[in-house]
Structure formats: C-alpha cells, structure tokens
C-alpha cells in the first residue's frame, strides 16, 4: 500500500475539539434535562492552498481525518509526501502542505460521484482508477472470534452512549479493538482510522474493519484502500456494496449483533468453531 520510510511522521497540530456539547431538553414528562449532543461543523481541506473538499465532522480527530481522506481517495500515495497538517478552527480549515507538490490535480478532481455517505460522501475518479490494483490478503476468521469481538467492542461507543447521533468504526485485530473512532458520518470515522494507520505505520493485513453503519460501496472502497480484507457491521449491506466486495474478494459480514450475523460474501473464510451451547437459534423475523 505504501513505500513510506518507517517512522516518518509529518508535522501536525493536535487541534481536536470536544466531541459533545451540553444542551437543555424537555423529556416526555415535561421535565427539563441536561443532555449532550455531538458537535457538527465544517472542515475545509486544502492541499498546498488548493481547496479540495468540505467535510462535516465532530472535529475530534481533524488531522487524522484529513490524512485518511487523502489516503483513501488516493490523492496522496505516501505519507512522506506530506510535510505538515495544520488545523485552524477559527477558519474551519485544515491545511495540508506537501514537500514537492502533487501532480495532476485537475485530472484527479475532474470527475466526482456523490455517494450515500451521511452528509454526502464523495468519490473521485482517481479513487476508482486505483481500486482494482489492490490485492487483499487472504484472511480467515473464527466464528468464536467474531462473537468475542462483538462483545468486547460493545463498550467502545462512548460518544454514542453519551449523546447518540454518531457512527463508530474500529480497527480490530483478533478479538480486540486497536482503535475506535466516532463521527457524524461513518465515512469520516473510517477516514480517521485510515489516517491513524498511516501515521502509526499499521498494516491492514490480518485486521478486521468494524462499523456501526451500513456497508455501501464507499465503505467497501475505503476498507480496501486500507488493505483490510474483512468487513464487519452491525447494520446491513447495499447491493452495490456487495457486488464490489465480491469483485475485490472481501469477506463481508453484516447484521452482526450478539450471537447472530450474516455472511454476504466470503463464507469460505469463516471457521465455524463455536461450541453447540454458543450457537444461537434461528433469529426471529423482524
């Protein structure tokens, strides 16, 4: 995925905002309550002073979000091409400065597709052009691992439990979450994880990518660009997302809650090793 020299990190600010804000609301019994709501503000991304996109975000991980966006859109191939990442919340902007400039911006930006991502995601032609060059690693997962991971990850959604209205994504290894991010859109949470993976030189091999949101083509693409072969969600899938996972050879597991999950693609990569007492009965119709 990258030829970046080991240990390199660009100069970055650490300008994360508080993810929630206290407000007053009235409940169903006409009682006033103090509650929290997640933030949502625009963050315009500039690369070498050229405006690229405006992202709506809670602002908790702005530098990682910017880096992950550039990586997953395949605007920048290597982390060592980036000199610095600077966030200024007064101007609602993040400035990415490269070492030698990025060639072919007009070509990269000439065609874009608005996706079904929360807050309207965007996929550019260069993202699609590079997608089918990816070779995902062969990754097998045990049924018992999925059960334990779902149990372990259930307590990670701290912002959602405090305020609701956000999606969460996690980079997982075995039965544990290596990192968990939340944002107003699942695509932002995914990009932030990709940015942290880039900064910390974490490979996607043998990892599982978890999201609370639906598995659309956009999420499949982002997962593939992170080099991760297994995608897990508590929500459902779209037909285009499934078709893309099939073309890329990605294992797609969805509607995963408790002891239930559905494998939409890649069942041959799952070892059904759960003992009989852990095997759930047939789920009730919704």
Asked, for residue 227, whether it belongs to a domain, the answer is yes
- Indicate if 189 and 123 belong to the same structural domain: no
Q: Are residues 124 and 148 in the same domain?
A: no
Own/partner pairs, 255-259, CB within 8 angstroms, 24+ separation: 256/146, 256/150, 256/232, 257/150, 258/150, 259/147
For residue 124, the model assigns a pLDDT of: 61
Summarize the confidence of residues 105-122 as an average pLDDT: 61
Q: Is residue 198's pLDDT more than 70?
A: yes
Q: Strand 41-47's sheet: what is its strand order?
A: 11-12, 82-88, 93-98, 41-47, 50-57
Same domain membership, residue 180 and residue 99: no
Question: Which pLDDT score, from 0 to 100, does residue 120 have?
Answer: 45
Q: What average pLDDT does the chain have? A: 90
Q: Is the pLDDT of residue 33 over 90?
A: yes
| pLDDT on residue 125 | 56
Query: Would you state the structure tokens that stand for residue 130, as one six-digit string?
Result: 């590079």
Domain CATH number, residue 83: 3.10.20.10
What is the arithmetic mean of pLDDT over 182-205? 96
Confidence at residue 275, expressed as pLDDT on a 0 to 100 scale: 78
**Pair 211, 149 in one domain:** yes
Cβ proximity of 153 and 188 under 8 Å: no
Among 76, 102, 131, give the residue marking a domain's end: 131
What domain count does the chain have? 2
Taking the model in full, what pTM does it have? 0.89
Give me the domain span that covers residue 108.
11-131
Q: Are residues 112 and 173 in the same domain?
A: no
Last residue of a domain, one of 80, 105, 131: 131
Q: Which of 131, 162, 191 is the last residue of a domain?
A: 131
Which CATH number fits the domain that encloses residue 222?
3.40.140.10
1 domain residue, yes or no: no
- The mean pLDDT value for 206-235 works out to 96
Average pLDDT over residues 115-136: 65
Which pLDDT value is given to residue 108? 76
Distance CA 208, CA 223 (A): 9
Q: Quickly count: other Cβ atoms within 10 Å of residue 285's Cβ.
A: 4
Helix count and strand count (H, E) for the chain: 8, 17
Q: Average the pLDDT over 122-151 and give the result.
A: 84
């Amino acid at each position: 995925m990258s030829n970046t020299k080991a240990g390199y990190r660009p100069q970055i600010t650490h300008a994360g905002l508080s993810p929630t804000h206290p407000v007053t609301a009235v409940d169903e019994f006409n009682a006033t309550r103090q509650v929290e709501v997640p933030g949502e503000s625009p963050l315009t991304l500039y690369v070498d002073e050229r405006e690229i996109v405006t992202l709506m975000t809670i602002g908790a991980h702005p530098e990682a979000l910017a880096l992950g966006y550039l990586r997953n859109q395949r605007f920048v191939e290597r982390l060592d091409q980036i000199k610095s990442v600077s966030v200024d919340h007064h101007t609602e902007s993040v400035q990415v400065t490269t070492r030698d400039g990025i060639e072919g911006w007009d070509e990269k930006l000439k065609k874009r597709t608005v996706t079904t991502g929360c807050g309207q995601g965007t996929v550019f032609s260069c993202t699609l052009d590079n997608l089918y060059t990816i070779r995902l690693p062969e990754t097998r997962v045990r049924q018992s691992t999925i059960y334990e991971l779902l149990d372990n990850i259930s307590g990670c959604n701290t912002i959602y439990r405090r305020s609701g209205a956000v999606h969460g994504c996690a980079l997982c290894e075995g039965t544990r979450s290596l990192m968990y991010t939340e944002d107003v859109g699942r695509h932002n949470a995914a990009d932030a994880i990709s940015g942290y993976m880039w900064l910390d030189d974490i490979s996607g091999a043998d990892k599982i990518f978890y999201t609370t949101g639906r598995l659309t083509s956009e999420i499949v693409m982002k997962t593939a660009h992170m080099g991760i072969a297994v995608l897990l969600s508590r929500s459902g899938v779209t037909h285009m997302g499934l078709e893309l996972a099939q073309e890329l050879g990605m294992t797609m597991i969805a509607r995963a809650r408790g002891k239930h999950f559905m494998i939409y693609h890649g069942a041959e990569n799952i070892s059904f090793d759960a003992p009989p007492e852990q095997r759930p009965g047939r789920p009730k119709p919704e």
